[in-house]
Structure 1
Amino acid sequence: MNKQDILSSQKVGETSRLYINNNNASTLITDLKSLLKLPVLIANVLPVFTGFWLALYFSNASFNDYLGMFLLTIIGSTLVMAGALVLNNWYDVDIDSIMARTKKRPTVTGNIPLKVVLIIGIILTLLGFILLLFTTVEATIYAFIGWFTYVFLYTMWSKRKYTLNTVIGSVSGAVTPLIGWTAIASGFHIVPIILFSILFIWQMPHTFAIAMRKCEEYRAAGVAMLPVVHGFKMTKRQMLVYVACLLPLPIYLLELGTTFFVIATLLNLIWLGICINGLFMRDDEKYAYINFLYSVNYITILFLLMILVTSPVSQ
């Protein structure tokens, strides 16, 4: 079913009715969570906060003095990211109707009409950029780079055509700490550059693990993910290479202290071990699941640790 078919199935008379009249509050909340891809959205807020926090730390600035700037940065960037995710749902409705894990999204079920979804995505995006313009131009530019990359270069251009889509999509997620950092200080600093590098590299094996687990769904939907096009062996080798690229990065963050360096290095070595072992595992589903779980916990621990070791309590 293509987008035109889905649009035509949503009659004008139906779309004119208020959504809340046809669904209870629980369904509405569930649909909104799905539309906003809430877990993904929340996961992207943490790097923004970490970038902001570390910029304060390295600038010897007080959080209380920048509370207003913090609220503008977090709310503005969250709205921009939410807008991008909603627009992704709007554009991908045809392939979402094929994949089992996305068939219940409100864009597919018709609970929220596609025209409404498009309007929501645009409004969220505009509101987010308006708020970010009250922070700094640099922060707004990085937010725009992330939004444009995700909506146009990833969703609309590369996702269905090229395995390079994962690399392109990783850029949009990797700019998040730069948004937070540049609300306070210039982005031409080693710390935000390394934060970008960590997130960019991390997203590759993380996304590949998801693609391995959902390989047949992506294949059915015609999405050019690496496991679909080149198989699991090639995917495993690339995952190993990307994780290995994470190994030297903690060296550039030695200013965060010995504790951070040791823990970050240990996390990298464990992940590298998982990937090496994965080359010899026959159970690809199990390998992908282990890798996915580890990657989620890895990035959460790493970025929370950055905040913890630079908090006043730890000093």
Structure 2
Amino acid sequence: MENGQLLPETVLESATGSSSKLLSLLIDIKYLLKGKVLVANVLPVFTAYWLALYFNGEPFIDHLGLFLLTMAGSTLVISGALILNNWYEVDLDKKMVRTQKRPTVTGNFTLKTVLWSGIITSIMGLVMMLFTTLEAAVYSFLGWFVYVVLYTFWTKRRYTLNTVVGSVSGALTPLIGWAAIAPVYHIVPIIMFCILFIWQVPHTLAISINRLEDYTRAGVPMLPVVSGVEVAIRQNLIYIIALLPFPFFLISSFGWFFFLFATSLTIGWILLAMKGSQAKDVKKWAQTNLRYSLIYLILILIVMVILTSLS
């Protein structure tokens, strides 16, 4: 320091340190919000909102404010649920390799801070959703309640059924987006709910098979932990097969191309699932199954948006 002023080197070091702290904070927030999980839940909200505009003959630009409010509110509600999940499951996360970077485990965020962040974020999101439509707000609350109370607090540590319970929460996301524009008694949001509900089971089974040691160490009663990997592989196949009929119900809404495209994706997933029982490296197969499930969901939702955009 010269004449009370910082030297250039000191300024540079200070700026670098501040950038590093900011980056570290953002990384912690990403792990706290389970970044990929957050995106996977917000994407159906956006898709259903877009589709509701199309099928109800409403121009997007006339509802831009409502769109921003719906996306912000639903994102906050989902984020709040994920934060509370991290707060409650810190003891489990400490025992699992894949969750070691979460700030609740590293201690970068205090549990009190995380708890209040989850509560405040949830309340803010739900209040914002009340300014969309009451129906959208109700679905937002139900999704939050199922994930936080019925899944996180009640079933995850007790029953293998936890996967199915958690799937209900994720399946409600398209209903939120659609209900912001119109009531959900339409074939499109109903089928989207069914697809997302069933999709989440093989998606989660793939994670639990791939991370079997983690869940076993933590004592979480996932299906492959309690009943064995072979049972989980069979259940995985059954749920994927159950996805086959749903594109048929959307032919009148999206046309034959969507039906053929979605059915082809499902058949491809079935063929992959059938290899599980003969796989030499079950973990590698589960990882491939997990990636396919994500590709499946993203492509289904994107094609829905593209087809309605081109109409």
Match of 1:51 in 2: 48
Partner residue, 2:299 = 301
Q: Partner residue of 2:206?
A: 209
Task: Give the Cα–Cα distance (whole angstroms) in 2 for the partners of residues 37 and 289 of structure 1.
Answer: 18
State the alpha-carbon separation in 1 of the partners of residues 277 and 52 from structure 2.
Answer: 39
State the 1:299 CA deviation.
Answer: 0.3
Q: 1:1-315, aligned counterparts within 5 Å?
A: 24-254=21-251, 255-311=253-309, 314-315=310-311
The amino acid that maps onto 1:234 is V
Unaligned 5+ runs, structure 1: 1-19
Give the whole-Å Cα distance in 2 for the aligned partners of 1:115 and 1:283: 42
Distance 2:129 2:221 in 1: 34
Give the greater-gyration-radius structure (CA): 2
- Paired with 1:291 and 1:244, the residues of 2 have a C-alpha distance of 14
Following superposition, the deviation at residue 262 of structure 1 comes to 1.2
CA displacement 1:170-225 (0-9 Å, x = unmatched): 01100000000001111111111100000000000000000001011101101010
Q: Give the RMSD, CA atoms, in angstroms.
A: 1.2
Q: Which amino acid aligns with 1:78?
A: T
How far apart, CA to CA, are the structure 1 residues paired with 2:202 and 2:23?
35
Please identify, of 262-271 and 23-32, the stretch whose mean Cα deviation from structure 2 is larger: 23-32
SS at match of 1:246: coil
Partners of 2:272 and 2:29 in 1: how far apart? 36
Q: Per the alignment, in what secondary structure is the counterpart of residue 159 of structure 2? A: coil
Find the aligned partners of 1:150 and 1:264 in 2 and give their Cα distance. Answer: 28
* One-letter amino acid of the counterpart of residue 63, structure 1: F
SS of alignment partner, residue 75 of structure 1: helix
1:122 & 1:194 partners in 2: Cα distance? Answer: 32
| 4+ aligned runs moved over 3 Å, structure 1 | none
How far, CA to CA, are the matches of 1:37 and 1:286 in structure 2? 22
Structure 1 SS opposite 2:157:
coil
- Per-residue deviation, 1:24: 1.4
d(CA) in 1 for partners of 2:50 and 2:256? Answer: 19
Distance 1:101 1:185 in 2: 40
Partner of 1:8: none
Report how far residue 122 of structure 1 moved.
0.7
Specify every segment of 5 or more residues in structure 2 that has no aligned partner in the other structure, as ranges: 1-16
Normalising by structure 1, report the TM-score: 0.91
The 1-side partners of 2:176 and 2:213 are apart by 36
2:109 aligned counterpart, secondary structure: coil
TM-score (norm 2): 0.92
Displacement of 1:280: 2.4
Q: Secondary structure at the match of 1:279?
A: helix
